[in-house]
Amino acid sequence: MSSWLPKPCYDKELSDRYLAVNNFTFWEHSKGTGQLSLEEVQKGEFDIIFTHATYHTQHCLFLWEKQIKAANSRRPVLDSITRNQHHIEHCIRILTAHTAESYTSTQTSFFKTGTPIHVKPQNQICWEG
């Protein structure tokens, strides 16, 4: 949920569940214009798209659930983003920074710098262990 992944690292069931439950809206532009369907986003033709701020926290929760599934698997396969220590620390900072008040106020804001979705295949490495 946030980038193109090699097939062994792609958890379609988990990704589909997070996308369906949250019903995210995606835009081509940071001001919330140029609405894109999920199907358009999943084609991978955009380097950066924009969405609500709640996507950021859901992305972090998605990665942690993916890590837990891999840890409980007989053959854990994870991508470079899910394994990245700096990204894990970033998620911790994002989730611990939210109070009830700040979370509510950010739910309808856009990411001003964009949320990268479905980046080019060579940007992700997938390996076992």
Is residue 79, in this structure, part of any structural domain at all? yes
Is residue 103, in this structure, part of any structural domain at all? yes
107 pLDDT above the threshold of 80: no
Q: How far apart are CA 64 and CA 82, in angstroms?
A: 8
Mean pLDDT score, 109-116? 45
Domain that residue 110 falls in: 7-124
Q: pLDDT tens-digit profile of 41-52?
A: 888 777 778 887
Query: What is the model's pLDDT at position 30?
Result: 78
Is residue 105, in this structure, part of any structural domain at all? yes
Query: What is the model's pLDDT at position 9?
Result: 87
Is residue 2, in this structure, part of any structural domain at all? no
Q: How far apart are CA 27 and CA 35, in angstroms?
A: 4
Is 82 or 115 the better-scoring residue by pLDDT? 82
Query: What is the model's pLDDT at position 39?
Result: 87
Q: pLDDT tens-digit profile of 13-65?
A: 999 999 998 888 888 887 788 999 988 888 877 777 888 778 888 999 999 99
Q: CA triplet 92, 124, 30: central angle to 5 degrees?
A: 65
Predicted confidence band at 119 (pLDDT cuts at 50, 70, 90)?
A: very low
Is residue 56, in this structure, part of any structural domain at all? yes
Q: What is the DSSP letter of 51?
A: E
Question: How many structural domains does the chain have?
Answer: 1
129 pLDDT above the threshold of 90: no
Q: What pTM does this model have?
A: 0.76
Is residue 60, in this structure, part of any structural domain at all? yes
